[in-house]
Structures are given as C-alpha cells and as structure tokens.
Amino acid sequence: MTVATARRPWARAALWLLLLGPLFFLSYGYANSVASARADVPSIVFGWEHAIPFWAWTIVPYWSIDLFYGISLFVCRDKRELDTQAFRLLTAQAIAVGCFLLFPLHFTFTRPDTGGVFGWLFDVLLGFDKPFNQAPSLHIVLLIVLWARFAQHLSGAWRWLLHGWFALIGVSVLTTYQHHFIDIPTGVLAGWLCVWLWPERVAAPWREATLARDPQRWKMAAIYLAGAALCAWGAIDLGGWALWLLWPAASLLLVAANYAVFGANGFQKRDDGRLSRAARWLYAPYLLGAWANSRWWTRRAPQPVWVIDELWLGRVPARGQRDGYARVVDVSAELPLRPWREGDVVRPMLDLIAPTPQQLRQIAADIESARGRGEVLVCCALGYSRSAAAVAAWLLRSGRAATVDEAIAILRRARPEIVLRERHRRALGLMLREASPSPAALGEQTA
C-alpha cells in the first residue's frame, strides 16, 4: 500500500455513503409517491421519440451507475476532495427531487415484457421506481457528477473506456424506456450546475457572494435577467425544439447572478486562463455571444496597439496571436485566455463595470511585475475598457502620467476607441489620491 493510498479517507467515505444511500432512496421514493397521487401529471414527448428502440440489455449500464456512485466516494484522495464529491451528490439529489415535486412529468411509453436476467433487473427496478421522476433525469445529473470525478483520476485507455461506458449509460435512459428526451438536456444542465457550485480549482461562487453596491452592476443584472426571461418565455410559449432556449435562459440567468451577487468569480476563470469545465457548459450560449461581440466590435482593428515602453493594449488573443508577447495580463472574466503561458497574469473583472481602486492598484502592480521580460499585452474582451483602465492605472502608479486626464490622453493617442466613462475616472482618481509608492516598489505589491 502506497503512502497516498494509506491517507485516503476511507472511513469518512463510508460514513458519507451511509448518509447518501438511504437519503437517495427515501427522497426519490417520496417524490414518486407524491406524483403518483396526482391525476394531472403531464408529459413532454417529441414525435421522433417513438422510433427509439427498446434494448433490454442496456439495463446493465443503466444499473451500473449505482456502482460508480458508491465507488466515487472511495476514489477521492483526501478529505477536501471527498467532501466536494459528497456535496455534489447531495446537491444533485436536492435539485432533482425539488424539480420532481414542483414540476412532475409522466413517462408514456409501454415497456415490452422482458425475461431472463435482464427481465429480473427490470423487475427489481420497478420495485421502487415509478414513471414520474423524469426531468431532470437524476441518472443524467449523477452521470455528469460522476464523470467529472472519475475523469480526474483516469488517463489514457482507461479514460477512453470511461467515456464510452458513460456514453452508454446516457443512452440507456432512453433505450430502457425510463425517460423521454427532455429529461436528458435538463439533467446535463443540472449536473454541471452541481459541479459549478462545488468546484475544486477555483473558489466556490457562493463563498464570496455579496449583494452588489454598484448601481451599474444592478443595471447589467436587470438586462441579463430580462434576456433570460425572454428566452424562457420563447421556450415555453413555442414549445417543441424551442425548448432549447432554456439553455441560453439558464446561461443569462447565471450571468445576471454574477453581476448582482457572485461577481467575476462566478465565471470560474482559473489562473491558467481557462474557465472551469462546468462554467464552459453552463455559460456556453453566453460565451458564444460574448466571443462574437468581441470579434464584431474589433473587426476593423483586431491587432493590439502599442501604448508606451513595451506595453501593448488589445483584445484577448486567439490561438496563434500570442507570438511576440513575453507576458499577457488578462482582465477579462468571460473569455478564456487559450494561449496562456507561465508568467501570464489573470485578474478577471466584470464587463462594462468600472474596476474598484483596489483592483486598479493590484492590476497596476501586476503590469509592473510583468515588465522587464519583453513585450507585455494587457487585454480584455475588446481592449477598450477594462484593459484600458488597467493600463491607465499603471501609467498613474508608475509616474508616467500625473493626472487621470493625462493617462487617458496617452491611451487615446494609441487607441482612440477606448471607452473610459466617468465611473472609470472616479475609480482612477480615488486610486491616485491614495499614497503612491515609488516605481521601484511597485513591482513588490503583488498579492
């Protein structure tokens, strides 16, 4: 037994399993019984679903998720990882059962008679399952949570085997006649929400949640909330394939929550410039729109511009556009820095929101620290506002500009399109009025 294995929290994992196992069956059974007592449980079925075949043998991968459920607690290498996994599973149960109670749906297909071992597995399943716990499919929610855990521990052929088997589990919810199609995408969404709520390489969004005090953040939250409501209305009113609008509705709702409560941390952009996998799934419709918006507004001036010394200002570079810059200082929260390299600095800030004086001091120190090794690119989604404010802060803190107006004038000579409004000027002015260190000491102020 290796040292790493000896330190695994086996006893704690067993205790979590003793808690989660009974809770699963009790809460799941309760939701089923409540729905079965109602006479008006609807169903959402697409016409093409009638062509889905019934494959009795897929009850084997369908049942196998229970085995993966239990093992997932014991593969965790330490207490922190174990508790994260347990809370993800607990959250999955709470979200799914809550939806089952609030919006029950009914499965409408008749399952063919099945004999043999497969028939026995179906009989055991039907002993506690009824055709009501549908959207989101708890099977799919758990599949996402479990896949995220096992994929972290496997590589090579074993990882590909995991992908294949879990894909088969996903298909089995349809071919065992347990779920309609609507249950799958809603399950995927709920599954990634569980992972997003309990991340591992970034801070959990709710840990530093606080109501925004900046009126501009509430204005942006209202705009995105209206967009989410419009998408949700379209999905419900039009039905059918328009139900896919629920994905951008959920995405915009989370963006609104970031502006109102979570801040830039809600996008879960890591120090390596990438968004967490859960964030990439949950925000995908918004991220696509943000990327397209970035490319549209900068289409006539896509290349960074030189500002002063070795400092450049521009949009987040795409693959192949990184060459020529020794360091990148990225202040975009929503777009990934794909060509990230060792030494780059990632300080996520919300779009269209003026940075705080504290953020400006920090980013000015980051820029100074990045200098001296070659050309430095300071970037955000467009290179017009957040990154411009960051460079203005550095100009002031380094003594290259004596006033806010002078700093902005230097920037406008390089890029006339910059957008620094009165709220940016106030933040820069507040930063400037604080005690300013010498340029030599500036590089030491890294957090």
pLDDT value for 126: 81
Of the residues 268, 294, 320, the one at which a domain ends: 294
pLDDT value for 123: 87
Q: Is 36 a domain residue? A: yes
Contacts of 2 (CB under 8 A, 6+ apart): none
Kindly report, residue by residue over 63-110, the tens digit of the pLDDT. 999 999 999 999 999 999 999 999 999 999 999 999 999 988 988 898
Of the residues 274, 294, 314, the one at which a domain ends: 294
Rounded Cα gap, residues 197 and 192, in angstroms: 9
User: Domain residues for 358?
Assistant: 301-442
pLDDT value for 291: 96
**Are 282 and 311 members of one domain?**
no
**Are 322 and 366 members of one domain?**
yes
**Are 144 and 231 members of one domain?**
no
- Structure tokens belonging to residue 80: 């922190």
Kindly provide the b/e burial profile for residues 287-297, where b requires at least 16 CB atoms within 10 angstroms of the residue's own CB.
Answer: bebbbeebeee
**Are 375 and 432 members of one domain?**
yes
Rounded Cα gap, residues 161 and 140, in angstroms: 18
pLDDT value for 333: 97
pLDDT value for 5: 46
Q: Is 208 a domain residue? A: no
- Structure tokens belonging to residue 62: 């369908």
Q: Is 82 a domain residue? A: yes
Rounded Cα gap, residues 219 and 352, in angstroms: 10
**Are 311 and 235 members of one domain?**
no
- Structure tokens belonging to residue 81: 């990882």
Q: Is 110 a domain residue? A: yes
pLDDT value for 127: 78
**Are 307 and 423 members of one domain?**
yes
Q: Is 204 a domain residue? A: no
Q: Is 21 a domain residue? A: yes
* Residue linked to tokens 């037994």: 1
**Are 238 and 185 members of one domain?**
no
Q: Which residues are catalytic?
A: 380
**Are 190 and 51 members of one domain?**
yes
Q: How many domains does the chain have?
A: 3
Of the residues 294, 314, 343, the one at which a domain ends: 294
**Are 282 and 340 members of one domain?**
no
**CATH for 309:** 3.90.190.10
**Are 288 and 306 members of one domain?**
no
The segments of the chain whose pLDDT lies below 50 read: 1-5, 435, 438, 440-441, 443-447
Q: Is 447 a domain residue? A: no
Q: Are strands 311-315 and 376-380 parallel, antiparallel or unpaired?
A: parallel
Helices (H), 371-438: 386-397, 404-414, 422-433
Q: Is 206 a domain residue? A: no
C-beta separation of 22 from 90 below 8 A:
no
**Are 11 and 119 members of one domain?**
yes
**Are 276 and 183 members of one domain?**
no
